[in-house]
Amino acid sequence: MQPFTKLSGVAAPLPMVNVDTDMLIPKQFLKTTKRTGLGSALFFEQRYNDDGSEKPDFVLNKPAYRKAQILVAGANFGCGSSREHAPWALLDFGIRCVIASSFADIFYNNCFKNGILPIVVPQADVDRLMDDAERGSNAVVSIDLEAQEIRGPDGGCIKFDIDPFRKQCLLNGWDDIGLTLRNEKDITTFEAQRRLSQPWV
């Protein structure tokens, strides 16, 4: 998993509440177990017409936000089913951070496991960042995970809280497999000893 330390990028505004995982990645794209290639299906029904052409009014189709790395969203982001394809699609599109006043629990946890930083801040701060994001390509927002700070295009600073363990996992790029492999030496020693003491197993 790619570590998350600092990020500066364009922030896309999505002032919608209760964005569910089916909106993020519709069910017809859930057949794959690969984490790549899903970016084009992110917000599929909002981004494309029935004939496959883009809807120009959707935020991620606008030239200023096509390479957005940060999403400023409404409350209860990621609600609905527990599909892990939702953070996969966000990440494959290029979004590494989502800022909202609240998240659905399963989606929130899945973000950390896939290298996305979900930041919870009060609605007043979301409103301020949403206003910043409306500036288009000038809406460069900087995230410093170590300092737990968000800096807007005007230099204003917003502090955020994060669980210390999850913070360390993101800073070091540790997913569940990475955490296990940190103990690889001990695991190898245990397996060798067990083969000697219990060769029948």
- Show the domain range for 170: 6-197
List helix spans (H) across the chain. Answer: 21-24, 44-47, 85-93, 105-113, 123-133, 164-172, 176-181, 184-197
Structure tokens at 198: 């219990």
pLDDT at residue 116 greater than cutoff 70: yes
Q: Please report which confidence band the pLDDT of residue 164 belongs to, taking 50, 70 and 90 as the band edges.
A: very high
pLDDT tens-digit map of 7-62: 999 999 999 999 999 999 999 998 888 888 999 999 999 999 999 999 999 999 99
Residue 1 lies inside a defined structural domain of this protein? no
Residue 8 β-bridge partners: 142
Q: Give the whole-angstrom CA distance, residue 146 versus residue 143.
A: 9
Q: What's the pLDDT score for residue 38?
A: 95
Q: Are 8 and 141 in contact (CB under 8 A)?
A: yes
Q: Give the whole-angstrom CA distance, residue 109 versus residue 200.
A: 40
pLDDT tens-digit map of 88-99: 999 999 999 999
Residue 54 lies inside a defined structural domain of this protein? yes
The mean-pLDDT minimum among 33-37, 115-119, 168-172, 195-199 falls in: 195-199
Furthest CA-CA distance within the chain: 67
**Prediction pTM value:** 0.88
Residue 66 lies inside a defined structural domain of this protein? yes
Residue 67 lies inside a defined structural domain of this protein? yes
Q: Which residue has the higher pLDDT, 163 or 191?
A: 163
Count up the domains in the chain and report the number: 1
CATH of the domain at 125: 3.20.19.10
Q: Please report which confidence band the pLDDT of residue 191 belongs to, taking 50, 70 and 90 as the band edges.
A: confident
